[in-house]
Amino acid sequence: MDLRAELLKSIWYAFTALDVEKSGKVSKSQLKVLSHNLYTVLCIPHDPVALEEHFRDDDDGPVSSQGYMPYLNKYILDKVEEGAFVKENFDELCWTLTAKKNYKPDRNGNSVVSHQDAFKLWCLFNFLSEDKYPLVMVPDEVEYLLKKICTAMNVELNSCELDDYLSQEPQGQEGLTVWQFLDMVNSGRFLRGIEQEAISMAVEEVYQEVIKDVLKQARSAHVLGHEPCPAPNPVLISISCVQGYLWKRGQLRRNWSERWFMLKPSVLSYYMSEERKEKKGSIALDKHCCVEVLPDRDGKRCMFCVKTSSRTYEMSASDTRQRQEWTLAIQTAIRLQAEGKKSLHKDLKQKRREQRDQRDQRKAAKEEETQRLKQLQEEKERKLQELELLKEAQRQAEILLQEEEQRRRQQHEEMQRTLEIQLREAEQARASMQAEMVLKEAEAERQRKRILELEAMQERLQEALQQEVKARQDEEAVRYAQARLLAEEEEKLKQLMKLKEEQEEYIIKTQREKQVLKQEMENKNKCLEEAQKQLEEVRVNRQRVDQDVMAAQRKLRQASTNVKHWNVQMNRLMHPIGPGDKRTNVSGGVFAGYQPLLSQRDSSLK
């Protein structure tokens, strides 16, 4: 956080405090007074001409924050120099303006924190709040600040109770305003049973450490009136550096004097006493400095020294633990200087903010991943439904195919039975007419060849049916492979998209094979139709043959009639002649010549 951003946060509170009607605008006279006070506390030369020019009375109405910002940036913030003013005085000015309107302590004097402690908590809030307006402090930073205050008092913060409070507070999960934070602290919910003096000392300690970059250690148990905490972690000691009394050896007189030391990231100052009224000197810290532990000598124990580029400072602590705290703290300050960081807590705040951003990003990524998985699951269910529909359609098609196949098979069997009957009838007719149809032997031979061709065609039809059955078995194997692929798809969710593409390709291939099989079935149907046509031709030929047989039968009947007529005529011719052996023999011989022909005719008629 740069200096301009810190100043803008405090000025924002002052501006909103002057906005009595909460319209987002402040009268020009009030802004003139505010600007004049800012000039004073920021130690900037006054520019009355620019002030009157910007806030002249010839234009209408009050000024909004957007209207005040150009003047604030150009004539005040751009001229501010870090270290040229006392920031605490600047914060007190802005706090005085905003506290009159917004801070409402207990009128009976039962507030947990004093007015001065509320000001320090307000400064801490501004430091830890987000860089967005209106200013709020996220729950993580609220917990961090309360934990530091409780740690300074050697008590433990109840995080569960804090979470319950934030969940009950409107918009508590998004963050607290400074007035909500102060009301929470004054409620005594998290600091019950602790004296106001101990709370003031803890707030002062955290304020010195965070705001003024005075890295210090928690006070001892006998000062706060609580049981001492366990031994601090060395890593935490290096972060919360110390202030306190140390013995220092002089450079000229080489005598030992007790001094009150206070460590900041860039300087180690020492005073006559802890009131810090008389400063005796300071040690500038940079990346070239170092800290070394010295052996005990000259009656002093727990010695260490700070080496700079120009001088070595020898000091002595009261015990080994205090020496370790001081050496680790000074090493931390030197490391900050080497890394080019002016404030440890600003760096820690930035790291916490980055961790929150990373956590939010992970949470958003997780939610996105959950949403994506949900969409994939829905897509999968939809695909499964489509597959079920396809399977149902396929089952219906199979049922239709089976029915069609059964119908064709029945027709084929009926046709075969009809052909067999017709063949038997043709054989009988051929056997009965063999003697009379010698002239038509060639025609009968052609009919037999035709029948053989039909039998060959029937065998081919049988083979085609077998091929169709085999194709259906292949199709069943393809469906089994498809079902196996679907099972693998359910087990391998991570490869869903790839398997889906393979499945679509496989379905397209199966459809193509079905189309080929369908084409083959159509071709076979065409063959069957051609066979039926040929059978119709056979029936036509058979009818023609029957007609020829009937014609032959008519001729035979005509011949029989003629024979009878001839017999009658012959009887008439032979009747007038008297009987005689020789005549009788002759007539009997003539009749005997016709007898074989008559018997042959009768057998043909039978």
Q: What is the pLDDT of residues 327-339, one digit of tens each?
A: 888 888 888 788 8
Distance of CA 557 to the CA centre of its chain: 100
Q: Is residue 496 a contact partner of residue 489, using CB atoms and an 8 Å limit?
A: yes
Indicate if the alpha-carbon torsion angle 506, 512, 518, 523 is positive or negative. Answer: negative
Say how far apart CA 217 and CA 368 lie, in whole Å: 45
Read off the DSSP letter of residue 76. Answer: I
Q: Is residue 295 a contact partner of residue 287, using CB atoms and an 8 Å limit?
A: no
Distance of CA 216 to the CA centre of its chain: 46
Say how far apart CA 547 and CA 542 lie, in whole Å: 8
Say how far apart CA 268 and CA 399 lie, in whole Å: 95
Partners of 45 in beta bridges: none
Indicate if the alpha-carbon torsion angle 276, 282, 288, 289 is positive or negative. Answer: negative
Q: Quote the crossing angle between the two packed helices 139-152 and 115-128, to the nearest 10°.
A: 130
Burial class (CB in 10 A: 0-12, 13-18, 19+), 422: middle
**Which residue reads 């009965």 in tokens?**
432
Say how far apart CA 559 and CA 602 lie, in whole Å: 12
What's the distance, Cα to Cα, between the start and end of the chain in Å? 129
Q: Chunked in runs of 10, what are the mean pLDDT values of the chain (606 residues)?
A: 81 86 81 87 83 66 75 86 85 90 74 86 88 85 86 81 77 77 81 79 85 56 37 38 78 86 86 86 88 87 90 90 88 82 71 80 87 90 91 92 91 91 86 79 83 89 87 87 78 78 86 89 88 88 89 88 84 63 45 51 52
Longest dimension (CA), the chain: 203
Indicate if the alpha-carbon torsion angle 195, 197, 198, 199 is positive or negative. Answer: positive
Amino acid letter, 394: Q
Radius of gyration of the chain (CA): 59
DSSP 249-270: E-SSS--EEEEEEEE-SSEEEE
The pLDDT, as a whole number, for residue 222 is 34
Indicate if the alpha-carbon torsion angle 70, 71, 73, 74 is positive or negative. Answer: positive
Q: Is residue 226 a contact partner of residue 239, using CB atoms and an 8 Å limit?
A: no
CA dist 594 → 348, 570, 589 (Å) = 143, 12, 9
Say how far apart CA 170 and CA 175 lie, in whole Å: 9
- Nearest Cα neighbor of 142 from 117, 167, 125 is 125
Residues 6+ apart with CB under 8 A from 460: 527
* Residue 114, helix vs strand vs coil: coil
Backbone angles phi, psi at 245, to 5 degrees: -85, 140
Cα pseudo-dihedral 567, 572, 576, 579, rounded to 10: 20
Q: What mean pLDDT value characterizes the chain?
A: 80
Burial class (CB in 10 A: 0-12, 13-18, 19+), 137: buried
The pLDDT, as a whole number, for residue 596 is 55
The pLDDT, as a whole number, for residue 603 is 58
Pairing between strand 25-26 and 63-64? antiparallel
The pLDDT, as a whole number, for residue 389 is 92
Residues 6+ apart with CB under 8 A from 577: 583
Residues 6+ apart with CB under 8 A from 82: 3
Read off the DSSP letter of residue 333. Answer: H
Q: What is the pLDDT of residues 103-155, one digit of tens each?
A: 887 666 667 888 888 899 999 888 888 888 888 888 888 888 888 888 888 88
Cα pseudo-dihedral 87, 88, 94, 95, rounded to 10: 160
The pLDDT, as a whole number, for residue 233 is 41
The pLDDT, as a whole number, for residue 325 is 86
Q: What is the pLDDT of residues 255-299, one digit of tens each?
A: 888 998 988 878 888 998 888 888 888 888 888 899 999 998 878
Q: Is residue 154 a contact partner of residue 198, using CB atoms and an 8 Å limit?
A: no
Residue 116 CB neighbour total at 10 angstroms? 14
